[in-house]
A and B are shown apart, each in its own frame.
Chain A
Amino acid sequence: MLPTNCAKLLTNAMNADAFKEPKRQHPMAWVSVFVKNLYTLVRSFWPVAAGLAFSSDVFQYAGWVGAGVLVLNGFAALVEHRFFKYHLTHDALVVQSGWIQKERMVIPFDRIQAVHMHQSAWQQALGLCGLKVDTAGSGGSELDFAALNRETALELRALLSGRVQPDSPAEALQVESNQATEVPPLMELNARKLFKVGLTQNHLRNGLIAFGAIMTVLEPLERWWGTWLESFPEWAVLLLALAWVVLIVPALVLFVFLAVFVSVVSAWIQYFRLRLEIQDDELSLQSGLLRRNEFRIPLSKVQLLDWRSTWLRRKLGLETLQIHQAKAQADGGAKGVGLTIPGLEAEHSQRIVEAVFPQWNPERVEGFRPDRYLRYRLFVIALVPLIPLSLVFGMTALFGVVALSWGVFRWFTTRRKFNGYRASTDGHGVLIESGWWFKRRTLLQWHQLQRVSFHQNKIHEPRGLAHITLHSAAGSRTIRFIPVSDAKRLMDYAAYRIESYDGSWM
């Protein structure tokens, strides 16, 4: 739960009737919009603004320009707040917005995938909450309430997520939130685990992002640090220029230190006091240091479970789980609705699977493994980087040694990678595994699939191989290089399971 006792908050719970008339957000919502717009402006024009600030001609007007931007932005935020109104009908959330160009958005309750709450530091101080509504299906969209009273946010969430009907009495809302406080967590991230999660992040990516951010800040300020460098004595600059080779190792060490530091700090900011619960038919996740988020996903709407791990993370007994719901068609399938749970142990994963896909039985499965053709294909692809290297170094002895070492190394690593590919099904679900260093496991249910495809090319055909792609509402997964007979059997089975299932798939 958010750092608030929900039961206490709802003692004066409003009746759902309160949402029948169009109403605005909390007055402080305009501050949120103001800050968000200002942040976007600063992020977009920061290098230009910093560069212009050093021009004395422009600098003398900086105050006026800044004041103008602030006033205009404040006015725009105020207009946005004043004309944003929402209300509930018996089956939909209706949002009206816009001043000159009016917009009316109707989101049927059955299209709502999840309702998430978030609290920035300033919202926590003022007792406010943000609310984000995720939707799916054709024409799906996303709605963000910038600031609501906590009570209003809790009530609205209960109504939108369907746990309480719009015509229910106020007591129903109170009972609902009372139950929420009594559930013991499925997992919590303590400081030790949080540190482990930070240590097993992608340091290279984080290091490069940090390096990029530093360069972005420094580049517009070149005049300032350039002048500072010029103040150095000539011999020091000369020494620095000559000693750059010696500085490579310290620079690399500094980069690694910076990358690990950024990873650990970002893990703390993102996953601080992470708490995962399964209550009734919902999965709830809370985390965050500066911005406290609470995600709730109805278990019945989960389409796909995706575990990812690195070698180091597995050694520490941890995995990251991504829980996917149906993607909105308007998002282009790129932005999946769901949540990420880092630092999961095997026991936690098992409990989540039992709750989300209770019929999945890993003890009774039929397995499918790719043909050995994939193993040789992986090896040949792994040798491709040697081609440009051969052009650079020529067919020298050094290149021969490098090529041979690389070949031997990749022969063993591609074998391990090949061994990581497998799929298995118990008739209800299908588990697709791949990878070695970066391992990935995906679990989905046959009856929730949207369609199924069979693929084969002229190289596979004589070898009797084919791919099967299972398309779910949360994304597609392919079982690759399996025998044609198995691919055809899986395709027929998928069609049978989808078509014979009469219930709701989401």
Chain B
Amino acid sequence: MMEDFENKVLRTEHLPHIHDEEFEKLPVRYRNIRWAIFALVAFVSLSLLVGLLISWRMIEPESFAWNVFLIPAALWAVLFGIWALSEWFGFDRRGYLTRERDLSYRSGWLFHSLTVVPFNRIQHSEVSQGPVAKRFRICTLKLYTAGSSGANLQITGLDEDVANQLRQIIDERNER
């Protein structure tokens, strides 16, 4: 028994560094869906703005003023500009990483975040899929830990098979 005993020195610099690991990317079709949503929302909102402008000009041409629309148009451009940049640069930042003892997810370009959820703290997990996501075979993996409402880690845009594999890994790790 005594010869099995080990007490190795552990230094914090020798701990596994999560930031140095290479994260797995989300499928390209999820990026396409995100761009499609962006295009749809941008088109609908711009159409509403233009529709309002034309209606005003047609109904009350004498009181019509172009400059009233400058501020909403500028706001629209800034908002959707930031959104487009976030989509363009942010998608490659999205990724998940499965290690032996935890699951991590990183996301965000303007606001970057990385969350680590150890397997031994997961209370339960859930895979959800809406009709559009089902058509494109992607889904959302939700992980729940103790102490707060809702999912504590939500990975949207996972391939169906990958999500089920991750869920299986979580179940296996929790059974140990």
Contacts and interface: CB of A to CB of B under 8 A. Distances in A.
Residue of B16, B109, B120 most packed against chain A (CB within 10 A)? B120
A488 B147 contact: no
Nearest to B10: A496
Interface in A447-503: 449-458, 461, 471-476, 488-489, 491-496, 498-499, 501
B118 A499 contact: yes
Given A488-B17, A493-B15, A495-B18, A326 B102 contact: no
A473 B15 contact: no
Contact of A506 (B110, B146, B150): B146
Interface residues of B, number: 32
Contacts of A499: 101-102, 118-120
Nearest to B16: A492
Contacts of B121: 449-451, 498, 505
A475 B147 contact: yes
A173 to B, nearest CB: 31
A458 B18 CA distance: 21
Nearest to A476: B148
B112 interface: yes
A331 interface: yes
B12 interface: yes
B66 interface: no
A461 B110 CA distance: 10
B109 to A, nearest CB: 8
Given A327-B148, A329-B149, A472-B147, A451 B123 contact: no
B147 A492 contact: no
A452 B115 contact: yes
A456 B19 CA distance: 13
A327 B147 contact: yes
Contacts of B144: 138, 329
Nearest to B101: A499
B12 to A, nearest CB: 6
A461 B124 CA distance: 34
Contacts of B19: 454, 488, 491
Interface residues of A, number: 42
Interface in B107-158: 109-121, 123-124, 144-150, 152-153
A450 B120 CA distance: 9
B112 A457 contact: yes
B150 to A, nearest CB: 8
B15 to A, nearest CB: 5
A326 B148 CA distance: 9
Contacts of B124: 138
A471 B148 contact: yes
Contact of A333 (B17, B114, B117, B148): B148
Contacts of B123: 137-138, 329
Given A451-B117, A491-B18, A332 B112 contact: no
B149 A331 contact: yes
A276 B16 CA distance: 43
B12 A473 contact: no
Given A451-B121, A492-B12, A492-B17, A474 B116 contact: no
A492 B118 CA distance: 12
Contact of B146 (A450, A456, A461, A495): A450
Contacts of B150: 332
Contacts of A318: none
Contacts of A136: 146-147
Contacts of A476: 148
A495 B118 contact: yes
A456 B146 CA distance: 25
Contacts of A471: 145, 147-148, 152
A494 to B, nearest CB: 8
A498 B118 contact: yes
B114 A453 contact: yes
A334 B124 CA distance: 20
A454 B93 CA distance: 14
Contact of B12 (A327, A334, A493): A493
Contacts of B111: 455-458
Contacts of B118: 451, 495, 498-499
Interface in A320-335: 326-327, 329-334
Interface in B92-106: 101-102
A156 B27 CA distance: 55
Residue of B123, B146, B147 most packed against chain A (CB within 10 A)? B147
A20 B111 CA distance: 55
Which 4 A-B pairs give the minimum distances between C-beta atoms?
Answer: A473-B147, A333-B148, A332-B149, A450-B145
Given A451-B145, A471-B152, A493-B15, 19 more contacts: A138-B144, A303-B147, A327-B147, A450-B121, A451-B121, A451-B153, A456-B112, A457-B110, A473-B147, A474-B147, A488-B18, A488-B19, A492-B12, A495-B18, A496-B15, A496-B16, A498-B118, A498-B121, A499-B101
17 contacts: A137-B123, A138-B124, A332-B149, A332-B150, A451-B145, A453-B115, A457-B111, A471-B145, A472-B147, A473-B145, A475-B147, A488-B18, A492-B12, A492-B15, A493-B15, A495-B18, A495-B101
